[in-house]
Structure 1
Amino acid sequence: MTTPALTLHHNPKSRSAGARALLEALGVDYEVKLVDFAAGETRTPEFLALNPLGKLPTLVHGDAVITEQVAITIYLADRFPAAGLAPAFDDPQRGPYLRWLAFYGACFEPALMDHAFKREPIDPTTSPYRDYDTVIAALIAQLARADYLLGDTLTAADILWGIGLRWTTDFGIVPKDPVIMAYVDRVGAHPAVIRAGELDAAMLPQ
C-alpha cells in the first residue's frame, strides 16, 4: 500500500515553523506549500476549505486534514513512532507528555495573548489558565528539573515548546529567564531544528 503524501501548508514566519522542524526530526518525506500572507492566501476559498480559521500550520495527510499545533504534534509523533519522539501509550511518561502539550494550547497561548494585548486578568477561579504569571512560573519550574520537559530525552513536545519559546522571547512576550533561554538553546541545537531553519531561510526573499 502506498503511504499517503504529507503536505504542510507553511510560512516560515508563522506557528508552522514548529511543524516543519518536527517533520524534519521524524525523517519523513513531506511537501511544503508556501502560503503567502501578503497575497492573502490564507483567505482564499481553497485554503478556507481546508482550515476555516485561515491559520497555519495546516497539515494534509492523504484525505486527513489536521490543524492546530498541538494536534499536529500528537498526530505526527504517533503516526511515525520509529523516530521515538513520543512516549508509547503504555509508557508512564505518556501522561506528562500529553499534559505539557495540552498546557501549551490551553494555558500558555491564551495567557500569552492576554498578556501581549494587556488584557485585564479575570478571576483566577474562572480563568482556564489562572493567570499569566502562574503559567510562566509553572513552565520555568518544569524546565528547571531537567534538560527537557520529560527528563533527559527530547520529545515532540520539546520541539513545539522550544520553537514557540524562541519566538515569544524574541518578541518580548515571555521573559528571557535563564532557564527558558537555556532550554531554547538546547532545542535549537537539535540537527532537525537547525535544518528546518535553513530550509525556511531559503524560502524567504533575499
Structure 2
Amino acid sequence: MRVPTLDLTHRRPAAVTIDLHRGHLDPSVATMPLPADVAERVVKANAAFLADLRRRGVPVIHVVTSYRGSAEIATNPWWSAVADTDATRANVLRHQLPGSPGLELMPEVYDERTDLVVSTKKRYDCFAATDLDHALRALRADTLLLTGVNTNSCVLATAVSGNVRDYAVVAVRDCVDSMDPDLHEAALALIGRAFGWVLTTQEVLARL
C-alpha cells in the first residue's frame, strides 16, 4: 500500500517518548530488559534524534510507567496470568515499583531544561489515565512523533489511541524496539497500515 507523504512543515509535531527508562534500557537494574545491544542502540538513536528536535524547537514529552505497588499491576488479568512464567513480561509484578531505579529516564535522552515528563502511565496506552492529552493540547501539537519501547505493546497502543484522538501519528522506526523482537516489524506494519506513518529519523527531520 502506498501511503501519502506526510508534510510536517504545515503541522505542529511533538515527540512523545515511551518508557525510555532504566527499567527497560539499563541492563544493570532493568526488570524488563531489552537485549543490551538493542537497548544501547535505542538510547543512542533517541538521544541524537531528540537533540535535533530540540534544536528545531520541537517539544519533547517523556511518558514513564510507574505504579503505587504490585496490587495496582495485578488488577490486569493478562499480567497476573503471565507473572513468574517464562513470558517476556514475567517480572511484571516487580516492574516500575516505588523507589525502583528503573523509574529514572535514561540520562542521555532527557533535558530537564526543556522536556516535559508524564510519570503516571500504568497501562500500555500512554493516554490512559495520564495528562498526556492535556500537555499536547497546551502545546497545540497535532502530530505525535512516537519513540521508545515496546513497539508491539506501548508504542502500538499509543499509536492507536493517538489516531482515534485525531492526531497525526508517526512511529519513528529507528527509535523504537521491543522485548519481543519477532513482533517488532509486525507492529510497525500494523501502525503503517491502519494508524499512521512509519518514518526513519532522517525522513522525519527532512520533512520538518
Name the one with the larger helix percent. Answer: 1
Name the one with the larger strand percent. Answer: 2
TM-score, normalised with respect to structure 1: 0.32
Which of the pair has the greater relative contact order for Cα pairs under 8 Å at 6+ separation? Answer: 2
- Greater radius of gyration (CA): 1
